[in-house]
Structures are given as C-alpha cells and as structure tokens.
Amino acid sequence: MKMRSLSDISNVVLKNAMFWNGQKFEPRDEVCLHVLNGIVPRDESFVRGDEFDCKGALVIPALFGLGLDFMEPLRDDVYKYSDGIDAMRKGGFYGGLYESSANPIDDADKLTATANRFKMFNTIVGEFEVKFLGAYSKGFGTDSLAEMMELAEAGVVGFGDGNAAIPHSRFLRLAMEYGKMTGKRFFFQPMDKTLRKSGCVHEGAYSDMLGMKGIPRIAETVAAYTVLETARFLQVPVHFKQVTCGETLELIRSARKKGIDVTCDVGLYHLLLDDSCLETLDSAYHILPPIRSAADRDALWQGIVDGTVDAISVNHTPVLRQDTVVNFEDSVPGALSLEIALPAIWNKLVSKVGEARAIELLSTAPARLASAAPAQNNIVVFAPDRPHVVVESDFAGHVCNSPLMGKTLPSSILATYINSVWTEM
C-alpha cells in the first residue's frame, strides 16, 4: 500500500464529450480538468496533459456509495482497504458511507484508526470523501451501548447496526435515547431476528419449490414498525438501509405524514433482480436482505418514481470464492457492486426518472444522507449505449462475487477522474 505521488496525477483534456452542466447534458468540444482547480476553461495558462476522445460519451458527476464494507483489518484475508479504493476508482465513486460488519467502530480509537487507513490512499491533491457510521452497541451486540457521545465528537455521521437484526425493544430504546443526545441519525437494516431465524432467501413460491428456508416480508415490516414507533416516541431521526418490499415503503410514507424524520435507500440488486433467479441455485444470488419477488421489485421502483426512496445503495460486500462455491444455504451472503453499479442501473433508472433524478439518487442524495460534500470536480466518462460483459478482471482484489458475473450490461464506464487521478478502463 503506497501513497499516490505526483507521477500518478495530471491535467486531462476530454474531447467530444456530453457534459453534465447541473441541469442537462450539453455537447463540449473540450473539457479541461486541472489537477488543482478541477474543471476549468481552456486558456493559455492551462498545461495540456493526457487527452481522451469521449466520442460523444457522457461526463457525469462521480458517485457516492452507501453501504461500503472492505472487511480489513479483521478479515484482510478477504479484502483490503486498497482493494476497496481501487474498486471505487474503477466504478467512479469519489466517496462513500463506511460500516463494516466485521469491524464495528464502537470507540473513538477505532474510528481514528479506520479513518487513517483510508487517508493512506489519498492523493497529495485531494482525498476520498469517506464518512463513517459508529456502532450504537459494543461489537454490534445487545449487552452494552457504545460510547456514542465520544464517537459523535470524534466525527461519525450516524450510528449503525452492522446490518445485524434489530435488537430487543428495550435495548433499542436505550440506544436511541442515548444517541438522541448527539443529534445523529440511526441507520438500521430492518430485520426481525426471530422471524428471520435461519432463512436465507425470500419466503415465497420459489423458496417453497426449492425447499429453502425463507425470510418473510414481515421480518422486515415488523422490525421497521418497531423502529418507527420508537423514533416517534423519542423524536430521533432514522434511516432504513436496503428496503426490500412495498409494505415497508408504505410504513415510511405513513410515518412521514406523522412527522417522523425517516429516510431510506434501496439496494442495487433489489432493483435489478427478483427471486426467480433462485432457480439456478447459484450462491451469487445469496444476498441479505434477500432478493424478493417481482411484485416487490416493482414496488421498489414505484418508490423510486414517487420519491419515497431517497437514494440507491451499493452495499459492496466481498466474499471469498471458497465461501461461494458451496451449497446455497451454506454460502456466505454478499455481493460486490462498486465497479459495475453505474453501467448496471443507469439506463433503466433514466428511463424511469430522467437524468437529473438518476444523478441525484446515485450521487448527491447518498452524499447528503452521509453529510458529505458533493462530487465537485470528480467525474465519470460513461457510454450508456456501449454494452459490456462482466468478467473477473472488472473487480478489484482477488474476489469477484457478483450475481452479474458473465452477464452483459447495457453500458460501460470508459474512464474516471477521481482526486485528480485519471483511470482508463
């Protein structure tokens, strides 16, 4: 792991680009990217560096990822921070909200150590806009609360659960009462532990047909209702990660009418897939919370269209190959997404909500939820009509667990310019 040096950064001139001006894409003969000043007008003082012919490709603001987990240090045999940073560059992400299920940030020293690791991969010009969720309990357990006041003072943007099941109601109340003093938002993946039990897929026709243990929708809705009632009682802001079904969105709509401060996101793969994928018995589709029915997927898209859903999350979770080439129910859940999220979702998203809203859902809204700065001069050169077949080399590190492996995506990332580092694909 090494710091980026001056040799890694340079001015770049993009030619023949469709540039996003904040409202629409407009044709530009040239877009000049300066290592210190970002996007600048062309003049005699600009020292031309690398040139890239976009051939009409889009130049869009870089993305912000919700749900980053790079596993290190506890599971650096799976993935390292350096792998995650490479994945962000490849996928056009200038920042993200970090929370590791393997490494809870439950005290200020752990926050400092994690933040310092990320700083190792910053250029001398800029740094990744990475924000952190603190754990509201020690080790993501239900025995003792984390020092939330200390974590808030140290810089966490909110408190998370490590994607664990919602704790019992009394502990939930105690955590939210204590956390309320910080003014920070709580981030929950709504899942009732007893209703989930040992389920690994959506409870429905396909789980019944295949004889697999299912997770019913009420495992999500019961947990969501409990959180919302506690939030209403205590007046605490909450966010739901990776909502999977329309019933939960209805609860959120109702809660907002009551004045509850609740936001939510929907996972990339929950918008792209439905549980018919289980027919293959491919463990690449083992994702938690589970991929639900086609009707649920349609309800999530409706939540995107009507504005109930605030952002699209990536939930980038690496899994070792040997933990995926086993029976579905014995496999480790999780999927990579940073490198392929944009080409996988862009065209369908734009067809539903338009270009401006698509950029908001993938970049500005996730950043706003994480109290992060906008993309500013970080950009992605993107060809929406150039198909791309997903292969192992698309992914950083030595893992490639993705349900889209071998599939043809409708679009391609051609290059990224993140923190003044130009990367061609």
Q: What is the pLDDT along the chain (425 residues), one digit of tens a residue?
A: 333 444 466 789 999 999 999 999 999 999 988 887 788 887 766 777 789 999 999 999 999 999 999 988 888 888 999 999 999 999 999 999 999 998 999 999 999 999 998 888 777 667 899 999 999 999 999 889 999 999 999 999 999 999 998 999 999 999 999 999 999 999 999 999 999 999 999 999 999 999 999 999 999 999 999 999 999 999 999 999 999 999 999 999 999 999 999 999 999 999 999 999 999 999 999 999 999 999 999 999 999 999 999 999 999 999 999 999 999 999 999 999 999 999 999 999 999 999 999 999 999 999 999 999 999 889 999 999 999 999 999 999 999 999 999 999 999 999 999 988 889 98
Residue 232 lies inside a defined structural domain of this protein: yes
Inter-CA distances, 340 with 129, 269, 351, 372, Å: 20, 11, 19, 22
Residue 55 lies inside a defined structural domain of this protein: no
Domain boundaries, position 167: 64-376
- Residue 409 main-chain phi, psi, to 5 deg: -85, 150
Neighbouring C-beta atoms of residue 93, cutoff 10 Å: 33
Query: Please, what is the angle between helix 169-180 and helix 217-234, to 10°?
Result: 40
Residue 187 lies inside a defined structural domain of this protein: yes
Residue 177 lies inside a defined structural domain of this protein: yes
CATH code of the domain containing 345: 3.20.20.140
Domain total for the chain? 1
Q: How far apart are CA 63 and CA 418, in angstroms?
A: 10
Residue 415 lies inside a defined structural domain of this protein: no
CA dihedral defined by 349, 260, 141, 160, rounded to 10 degrees? 40
Residue 366 lies inside a defined structural domain of this protein: yes
Q: Which amino acid is at 304?
A: I
Residue 147 lies inside a defined structural domain of this protein: yes
Residue 270 lies inside a defined structural domain of this protein: yes
Q: What is the 3-state secondary structure (H, E, C) of 246-307?
A: HHHHHHHHHHHHCCCCEEEEEEHHHHHCCHHHHHHCCHHHCCCCCCCCHHHHHHHHHHHHHC
